[in-house]
Chain A
Amino acid sequence: DQQVKQNSPSLSVQEGRISILNCDYTNSMFDYFLWYKKYPAEGPTFLISISSIKDKNEDGRFTVFLNKSAKHLSLHIVPSQPGDSAVYFCAARGSQGNLIFGKGTKLSVKP
C-alpha cells in the first residue's frame, strides 16, 4: 500500500503560468517532506523541503505548502519555465530515516 501518492502522472503548463504538483500521504508520523526534480538518465536533485511543523516553505520560484489535516502537500512553481520540464518526486521521511517516494509527476512547460 502506497504511503506517498502522486495521483497525477503528468501535467502540462504554459510558460509563465503557475505549475501545481500535488502529493498525498497516509502516515501522520512523517516528520519531513521533500521534493526532487529528475531529468531523464540523471539522478534526482533536491528542490525544497518542509518540516511537518510548518505549513509553508518558499525558495525563489518554488513554494511548498503542507496541509497536515488533509495529509496533503503541494509544490507551486511560479512562473514556470521550459527548463522546469522534468519528473517531480514527492518524498516523506520515515522513522528509520529513509525516504519514501511517490511515483512522480511529469511536468511539461510549453513555450
Chain B
Amino acid sequence: DGGITQSPKYLFRKEGQNVTLSCEQNLNHDAMYWYRQDPGQGLRLIYYSQIVNDFQKGDIAEGYSVSREKKESFPLTVTSAQKNPTAFYLCASNRLLAGTGELFFGEGSRLTVL
C-alpha cells in the first residue's frame, strides 16, 4: 500500500545530542513537509521541499536541518541548537498544486528530550 512511513515512533534524546527522524513516501509525490505539533499550537511548518535537492524554511526552522537527496526521502535532523525539541513531529507529502493540495501525513514521531 502507498503511504508515508515515519520512524522511529518514539525517541528519547539527551540534551546536546542531535537526532534524525526518518520520513519515506512511496506515493510519488513531489513535495514533502515537516510539521511540529505542540499542545494548543496546531501544526507549525518546519521545512518543506518541492523538488529533489531543494528545500525551503518554514515558520520555525531554527535548530532544524533537512536534506532531500531522493524524491522518496526527507529526513529531519533536530540539532542541539533547538531550544525546546520535545514535541510530536509529523511528515507529510502531496502532489504540489494538483487538485486540492491535500496533504498525506505519516503517523508521527514523538521526541522527548531528557
Contacts and interface: CB of A to CB of B under 8 A. Distances in A.
B21 interface: no
B102 A34 contact: yes
Interface residues of B, number: 29
A97 B96 contact: yes
Interface stretch (B12-20, B36-44, B62-70): B36-44
B100 A43 contact: no
Given A45-B105, A46-B102, A103-B42, A98 B33 contact: yes
B78 interface: no
A8 to B, nearest CB: 12
A107 to B, nearest CB: 15
A97 B101 contact: yes
Contacts, number: 62
Interface in B4-36: 4, 6, 31, 33, 35
Nearest to B4: A43
Given A9-B40, A97-B31, A97-B50, A41 B108 contact: yes
Nearest to B59: A100
A45 B108 CA distance: 12
Which interface residue of A43, A51, A89, A103 has the most chain B CB atoms within 10 A? A43
Contact of A41 (B4, B45, B88, B92): B88
B106 interface: yes
Given A44-B90, A51-B100, A97-B50, 19 more contacts: A32-B100, A32-B101, A34-B102, A36-B103, A42-B108, A43-B92, A43-B105, A44-B103, A46-B103, A46-B104, A49-B102, A93-B101, A97-B31, A97-B94, A97-B101, A101-B43, A102-B42, A103-B40, A104-B43
Interface of A: 6, 9, 32, 34, 36, 41-46, 49, 51, 89, 91, 93, 96-99, 101-104
